[in-house]
Amino acid sequence: MLDILKDLIFSSGAVSLTGGNLVMWLVAFVLFYLAIRKQYEPLLLLPIAFGILIVNLPLTFLMEPEHGLIWFFYHYGIEQDIIPPLIFLGLGAMIDFGPLIANPKTLLLGAGAQAGLYVTFFAAVLFGFDLQEAASIAIIGGADGPTTIFLTSKLAPHLLGATAVSAYAYMALVPIIQPPMMKLLTTEHERKIVMSKLRPVSKLQRICFPIVTAMAIMLMVPTAAPLISMLMLGNLFKESGVVERLSKAASNELMNVVTIFLGLSVGATMTAGTFLSPKVLFIFFLGLFAFVISTGAGLIMAKIMNLFLKNKINPLIGAAGVSAVPMAARCVHKVGSEANRRNYLLMHAMGPNVAGVIGTVVAAAILLKNLG
């Protein structure tokens, strides 16, 4: 009887627990708290936290190559580039490109914000990361989770957990991170600028936009094809109005299913051995740096554009050039309306916000082309 009990105890995972496992449990519980209590990006942080927890229970072998359940999700979903493009399909079916079509100049704001990303690339190299790792960290500044995962899984898969959690955490923290930067880089007078109403966009223009954009970007940067093709297909589903079932499936059922697999797989890459290193702390610091610099770059781009424009734009909308849709646009609207109660910037900020999604994909594709 004693032998059976002894055998049971020594074959259990409990005796194989390490200090690292316990620290990772703590990380998982912090993310549970942020997701459930604070509701910061709960759709992603909750499965990520659960993935971290279960992969740090010894002897479960969930990430054992060729055997573990979550390894199969990770291998076929992320390593084989299936999940991020499917997320983009759903995203495309939800995004309204109307404000961008009505004011195409805002595409430049989406480009401006990406400058911050390259500054961070430079900084990460100075901190001692290799070029592939630096690119994976820099893309966090784009504030786009699927693009971050897409690029990191190709260039530096060992950093996947840290960059993904960093990207989603900072996206959730947009209302805290962005306003101080907005107030620092704009004057009260600039924040008060009221923008004229956007022109109406016809149905045909909305239908043509995803087709023209997909063709143009894929011809110019073929490495952007997996993400941009799915994003534009999803949007075409939505705008065509003839495949409502597909549009709804892409934006609801499919999106929800792949989000579960994405969150679990990303969380499961965060074992104590890979996550608990000084490098990860630097990644979180540089991720924040990337996000702040990208916000600043978008604001400065808007101010530069104002030097040449007859009808001035409110430079706050430049901050929405990072892609965190729609939080960044909401944040711009809030800061703008605090400066001037007559200001309604939400729709104006949605233009650069969705331009930021396209810009981040283009930036990631160029990094992939140069370093992949």
Binding site for another protein (CB under 8 A): 100-101, 104-105, 107-108, 110-111, 114-115, 117-118, 121-122, 125, 130-131, 135, 201-202, 204-205, 208-209, 212-213, 216-217, 220-221, 355, 358-359, 362-363, 366-367, 370-371
Q: Which is nearer to another protein, 7 or 130 (CB)?
A: 130
Q: Which is nearer to another protein, 148 or 259 (CB)?
A: 148
Residues with Cβ < 8 Å from 372, sequence gap 6 or more?
A: 154, 155, 223
Rounded-to-integer distance, Cα 24 and Cα 165, Å: 13
Q: To the nearest whole angstrom, how small is the minimum distance from the Cβ of residue 205 to another protein?
A: 5
Q: To the nearest whole angstrom, how small is the minimum distance from the Cβ of residue 200 to another protein?
A: 11
- Residue 8 to residues 12, 15, 60, 68, 168, Cα–Cα distance (Å): 6, 10, 15, 22, 40
Q: Which is nearer to another protein, 42 or 226 (CB)?
A: 226
Q: Side chain identity at 217, as an amino acid letter? A: I
Q: To the nearest whole angstrom, how small is the minimum distance from the Cβ of residue 347 to another protein?
A: 17
85-105 burial code (b ≥16 CB/10 A, e <16): bbbbbbbbbbbbbbbbbbbee
Q: Which is nearer to another protein, 31 or 367 (CB)?
A: 367
24 near 271, Cβ under 8 Å? yes
Q: To the nearest whole angstrom, how small is the minimum distance from the Cβ of residue 318 to another protein?
A: 14
DSSP string, 306-366: HHH-SSPPPGGGGGGGS--TTHHHHHHHHHHHHH-TT---HHHHHHHHHHHHHHHHHHHHH
- Residue 262 to residues 46, 169, 365, Cα–Cα distance (Å): 11, 15, 21
Q: Which is nearer to another protein, 240 or 340 (CB)?
A: 240
Rounded-to-integer distance, Cα 21 and Cα 106, Å: 46
Backbone φ, ψ for residue 80 (5° rounding): -95, 10
Q: To the nearest whole angstrom, how small is the minimum distance from the Cβ of residue 203 to another protein?
A: 10
108 near 299, Cβ under 8 Å? no
Report the SS3 class of residue 127.
Answer: coil
Q: To the nearest whole angstrom, how small is the minimum distance from the Cβ of residue 115 to another protein?
A: 6
Q: To the nearest whole angstrom, how small is the minimum distance from the Cβ of residue 304 to another protein?
A: 12
Q: Which is nearer to another protein, 71 or 282 (CB)?
A: 282
Q: Which is nearer to another protein, 44 or 362 (CB)?
A: 362
